[in-house]
Amino acid sequence: MADGKAGGTQSGEALLFLTDEQLRKGIEAMFFAYRGFTADPDRILEKYGYGRAHHRAVHFIARAPGTNVNNLLAILGVTKQSLNRVLRTLIEDGLVESRVGVQDKRERHLYLTETGQSLEAELSEAQRARMRVAYRDAGHEAVAGFRRVLEAMMDPDQAAYFNAMSKTGSKKEE
Interaction of residue 103 with DNA, rule CB under 7 A: yes
Task: Please say whether the beta carbons of 75 and 110 come within 8 A.
Answer: no
106's enclosing H/E stretch is none
CB of 66 to DNA, least distance (A): 11
By CB under 7 A, tell whether 120 contacts DNA. Answer: no
Tell whether the torsion through CA atoms of 121, 127, 130 and 135 is positive or negative.
Answer: negative
Name the residue among 69, 88, 89, 91 with its Cα closest to residue 80: 69
Cβ 119 to DNA, closest distance in Å?
Answer: 13
Residues forming beta bridges with residue 99, ordered by sequence position: 109
Distant-in-sequence, close-in-space partners of 89: CB < 8 Å, separation ≥ 6? 50, 54
Nearer to DNA, 52 or 128 (CB): 52
Contacts of 9 (CB under 8 A, 6+ apart): 2, 15, 16
**Candidate segments 65-73, 84-92, 106-114, 120-128, binder of a copy of itself by CB under 8 A:** 120-128
74 in contact with a copy of itself (CB under 8 A): no
Q: Which residues contact 44 (CB under 8 A, 6 or more apart)?
A: 122, 123, 126
Residue 59: CB minimum distance to DNA, A: 12
When the beta carbons of 32 and 103 are compared against a copy of itself, the nearer one is: 32
Nearest one of 159, 139, 157 to 149, comparing CA atoms: 159
User: What phi and psi, each to the nearest 5 degrees, are found at residue 111?
Assistant: -135, 150
Q: How far is the CB of 128 from DNA (least distance, A)?
A: 20
Q: Give the x/- contact pattern for a copy of itself in 124-163, rule: CB under 8 A.
A: x--xx-xxxxxxxxxxxxxxxxxxxxxxxxxx--xx-xx-
Binding residues (CB under 8 A) for a copy of itself: these are 4-6, 8-9, 14, 16, 18, 20-21, 23-37, 39, 56, 63, 77, 124, 127-128, 130-155, 158-159, 161-162, 165-166, 168
Binding residues (CB under 7 A) for DNA: these are 49-54, 56, 68-71, 73, 77-88, 98, 100-101, 103-108
